[in-house]
């Protein structure tokens, strides 16, 4: 019976918390919350130094607090806190109060903040804001804002905004905004603005501002991950899959999915990847000095479609290329490749002549295969910097362009096999270079 009565007595003492500070003590020693040098109502005392042999409760702590199991402060925590299990700031702050009393207390400006550093084995919890550090093997929670640093073995969660660093084993959340760095293994999330860096397998941000936004003074957001998501993106996404709503920044990945921006006098962004979903593209077929048959499917973005004062329409295009020699000759060479090009189309108010001709600069990368239906495993890379010029056949044919291009071929190979070109003799040298050309049809 005695253990039961003692437990009930301890629980009662934890809930019967005085709502105002009554005394200040230099040092407090506690066995359990109700048995301490501050008596049965230790929640009414503020201490400079506290040593809790198991757990302790104080109104505030100013310098150092150490608890074998846990530390709980009803109001603010300052200085250093060490706990084997948990540190809680603002615990029982509204105990036994009616909703109207709680609202009145909040309107009067009550906050339970942590200013300093908290270290624990499992959890650090702060009712309002954190100004400083939180480090734990489990979870850190700030129900207000974070101005500082969180380190957790499992997760960090900030209910409002963060100015600083969140580093966690699994995930980080800063709900209203993130102005700093989030790093975790699983995911990072902010529902508001990202003004810093997210690095995880999955990253999500509400919006990122940058040089193509109206408000370009904010720090540019950057996401590194397997999957990156931003509802409104004017920053940088580096990942296998990048997803953005209105995209005014830069996406670099295997798959980029994006939408056009809508704000007037702002530019669209740049998507660089193998598959780009959301904007303009083209199909091209042409002959070159290396391969008589080439097919290219491209996708990309129109960067300045909402800025009518610029003299040229600017497109950035990513091309997937298939080339073959065997169809029209006895050669067995074929290639798979990728091309990145920037197009400049003319602009005019003359009917039918807007985007009538273009000039493009870029580079193609082709992996040369020397046997039919078999991929060469050794290095066999043909790099072709290219300058293209094209024009429509007729003002009424708005989609069909003929073009010609001048290129320079740089071939690096460890296969020991030769490739043939119109302007170059066959050779098995490890590195060769020569001028080249191409001409064909482009359908936009």
pLDDT of residue 216: 58
Q: Is 26 exposed, middle or buried (0-12, 13-18, 19+ CB in 10 A)?
A: exposed
In whole angstroms, how far apart are CA 185 and each of 28, 152, 154, 209, 224?
A: 41, 12, 10, 25, 11
| Residues 329-359: tens digit of each pLDDT | 677 889 999 999 999 999 998 888 999 999 9
pLDDT of residue 366: 97
Question: Residues with Cβ < 8 Å from 232, sequence gap 6 or more?
Answer: 206, 207, 208, 244, 245, 246
Note the Cα 236 to chain centre separation in Å: 7
> Do residues 34 and 13 make contact, with C-beta atoms less than 8 angstroms apart?
yes
pLDDT of residue 214: 59
Report which secondary-structure segment, H or E, holds 5: helix 2-15
| Residues 109-161: tens digit of each pLDDT | 788 999 999 999 999 999 999 999 999 999 999 999 999 999 999 999 999 99
> Do residues 409 and 433 make contact, with C-beta atoms less than 8 angstroms apart?
yes
Q: Is 207 exposed, middle or buried (0-12, 13-18, 19+ CB in 10 A)?
A: buried
Structure tokens at 435: 């001028």
| Residues 37-53: tens digit of each pLDDT | 888 888 889 999 999 99
Question: Residues with Cβ < 8 Å from 413, sequence gap 6 or more?
Answer: 368, 378, 379, 380, 381, 428, 429, 430, 431
CA-wise closest residue to 253 among 268, 232, 266, 269: 269
What average pLDDT does this structure show over 375-385? 93
- pLDDT confidence of 424, banded at 50, 70, 90? confident
| Residues 246-277: tens digit of each pLDDT | 898 999 999 999 988 777 788 889 999 999 99
pTM of the predicted protein model: 0.87
Pairing, β 281-288 against β 431-443: antiparallel
Number of C-alpha atoms within 13 angstroms, CB side, residue 190? Answer: 32
| Residues 200-219: tens digit of each pLDDT | 999 999 999 877 665 556 67
The DSSP letter of residue 424 is B
Structure tokens at 259: 């939408």
What average pLDDT does this structure show over 403-408? 97
pLDDT of residue 198: 98
Helix residue ranges per DSSP H, 77-234? 99-107
pLDDT of residue 305: 84
Number of C-alpha atoms within 13 angstroms, CB side, residue 169? Answer: 9
CA-wise closest residue to 88 among 126, 50, 46, 137: 126
CA-wise closest residue to 163 among 205, 196, 208: 196
> Do residues 130 and 114 make contact, with C-beta atoms less than 8 angstroms apart?
yes
In whole angstroms, how far apart are CA 318 and each of 253, 256, 403?
A: 12, 11, 17
The whole-angstrom separation of Cα 126 and Cα 108 is 19
Q: Which range (90-104, 176-190, 202-216) has the least confidence? A: 90-104
> Do residues 69 and 82 make contact, with C-beta atoms less than 8 angstroms apart?
no
Handedness of CA 27, 81, 75, 98 (dihedral sign): negative
The whole-angstrom separation of Cα 26 and Cα 61 is 10
Polymer length of the chain: 444
């Amino acid at each position: 019976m005695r253990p039961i009565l003692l437990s009930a007595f301890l629980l009662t003492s934890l809930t019967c918390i005085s709502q105002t500070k009554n005394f200040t003590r230099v040092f407090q020693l506690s066995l359990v919350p109700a048995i301490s040098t501050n008596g049965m109502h230790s929640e009414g005392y503020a201490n400079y130094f506290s040593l809790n042999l198991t757990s302790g409760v104080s109104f505030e702590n100013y310098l150092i607090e150490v608890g074998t199991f846990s530390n709980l402060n009803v109001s603010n925590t300052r200085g250093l806190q060490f706990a084997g299990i948990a540190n809680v700031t603002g615990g029982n702050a509204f105990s036994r109060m009616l909703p109207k009393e709680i609202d009145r207390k909040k309107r009067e400006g009550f906050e339970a903040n942590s200013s300093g550093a908290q270290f624990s084995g499992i959890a650090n919890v702060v009712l309002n804001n954190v100004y400083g550090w939180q480090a734990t093997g489990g979870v850190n929670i700030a129900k207000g804002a974070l101005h500082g640093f969180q380190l957790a073995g499992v997760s960090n969660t900030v209910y409002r905004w963060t100015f600083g660093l969140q580093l966690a084993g699994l995930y980080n959340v800063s709900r209203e905004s993130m102005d700093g760095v989030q790093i975790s293994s699983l995911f990072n999330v902010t529902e508001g603005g990202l003004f810093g860096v997210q690095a995880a397998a999955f990253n999500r941000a509400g919006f990122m501002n940058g040089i193509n936004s109206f408000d370009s003074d904010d720090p540019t957001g950057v996401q590194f991950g397997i999957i990156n998501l931003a509802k409104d993106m004017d920053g940088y996404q580096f990942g296998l899959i990048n997803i953005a709503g209105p995209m005014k920044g830069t996406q670099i990945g295997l798959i980029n999915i994006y939408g056009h921006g809508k704000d007037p006098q702002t530019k669209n962004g740049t998507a660089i990847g193998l598959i780009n979903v959301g904007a303009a593209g083209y199909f091209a077929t042409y002959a070159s000095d290396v391969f008589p048959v080439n097919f290219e499917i491209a996708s990309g973005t129109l960067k300045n479609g909402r800025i009518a004062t610029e003299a040229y329409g600017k497109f950035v295009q990513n091309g997937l290329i298939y080339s073959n020699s065997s169809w029209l000759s006895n050669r067995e060479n074929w290639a798979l490749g990728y091309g990145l090009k920037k197009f400049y189309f003319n602009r005019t108010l003359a009917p039918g002549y807007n985007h009538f001709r273009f000039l493009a600069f870029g580079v193609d990368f082709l992996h040369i295969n020397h046997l039919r239906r078999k991929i060469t495993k050794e290095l066999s890379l043909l790099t072709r910097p290219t300058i293209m010029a094209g024009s429509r056949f007729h003002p009424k044919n708005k989609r069909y362009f003929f073009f010609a291009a001048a290129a320079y071929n740089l071939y690096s190979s460890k296969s020991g096999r030769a490739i043939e070109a119109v302007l170059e003799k066959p050779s098995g040298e490890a590195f060769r270079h020569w001028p080249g050309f191409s001409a064909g049809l482009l359908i936009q």
